[in-house]
Structure 1
Amino acid sequence: MDSRELRNCMGHFATGVTVITCDTEDGTHGITANSFTSVSLDPPLVLVSIDRKAKALQQLKNNNFTVNILKEDQEDIAMHFAGRPLDEPTFQFEKGNLSTRLKDTLAYVECEPWAEYDGGDHVLYVGKVSDFTYNHGRPLAYYCGKFSDVLPK
């Protein structure tokens, strides 16, 4: 199977864009991820898939984390946490109940570690939701390898 073509095929599934944040003794860390999904309402569980090569992989292991769901105008924040740091960050952090989160996002979901699974070249982290909030606005979307406006205005 051609992995590049499989990736192209999977890219046709439009997703929202998140930044996963967590705290360690070294400070607050974040990684951009579009592999995020709700798993269960009882108990309340979500799943995040992180590439095994990502620096954030070990920072998330057995650690509280927050899923920050980005708004349509937060592409620069997504790029910052995807490894293209901003010269002057346009975002601010705020302390949550379990971990630090980004201010002014479309939504956030704070989680405690629930389980970790082998996902091939990724690790699947399942978190138990302990707090969340959401705001009105339009999501930042990702489609076919680029940020996209997939919702009608």
Structure 2
Amino acid sequence: MQAHALRLDEPRAADADFDERRFRHALGRFATGVVVISTGSGERLHAMTANAFMSGSLRPPLIVVSVGQHARMHERLMACAVFGVSVLSDAQEAHSRHFAGEPQSRLAPRFAGVDGLADVVLLEHAAARFAARVVDRHPCGDHTLFVGEVLVFSLDEHAPLIFFGGRYGSVAGSQIATPAHALPPSAHCEQGEPGPSFARSHE
């Protein structure tokens, strides 16, 4: 098999004329889901929208979020022991905008508490929800990767909210299938209304 060199028209990141804006557009070609990261509860609740979220490991169950070092959430995650991640459904675009710094005047976000974890609340009606304990932090340029061990998780049948090329989208609900074995796989501060208790899942 013969390999062919790929010629790139764009300058390398180390070059002085590196086009950061075009780089962001290139990254935006990767379709992602949208999550709301949360820490604290009650008057100490802080939440932000993000799409830099991924599963890290199955054994142990780990998730990873990437947060910019200038975000207020970064300071919170550097100091906190636990955090929550709510994977938004396609009906929660307003939540994404709200916690990304575009207040939605008619939106009243509702958060549910997690049994046994006083410092974690998660959005109601999300497609999936995770409560995690911070087990590692890794500097990554102007961001930090926060690794969390999943303590509690839950999933629903809602279709996920999709983000691609700077736009929101969704997938047809009929295409959403629950796997046989469920896997535990910038920013605006807002206090959420307490909702019903979020029960521990033992799936």
Higher percent of residues as strand: 1
Matched, 1:75 2:93: yes
Q: Quote the residue 2:111 is aligned against.
A: 93
Stretches of structure 2 that go unaligned for 5 or more consecutive residues are: 1-17, 174-203
Q: Quote the residue 1:4 is aligned against.
A: 21
State the aligned residue count. 152
Mark the structure with the bigger radius of gyration. Answer: 2
Partners of 2:66 and 2:79 lie apart in 1 by 14
Deviation readout 1:44-95 (Å, 9 max, x if unpaired): 1110001112111111224211110000010100011101122233321111
In percent, how many aligned pairs have the same letter? 34
Superposed counterparts of 1:1-153, under 5 Å: 1-23=18-40, 26-63=43-80, 64-97=82-115, 98=117, 99-149=120-170, 151-152=171-172
Q: CA RMSD in A?
A: 1.6
Distance 1:32 1:142, change over 3 A: same
The farther-off stretch of 69-78 and 86-95 is 86-95
TM value normalised by structure 2: 0.71
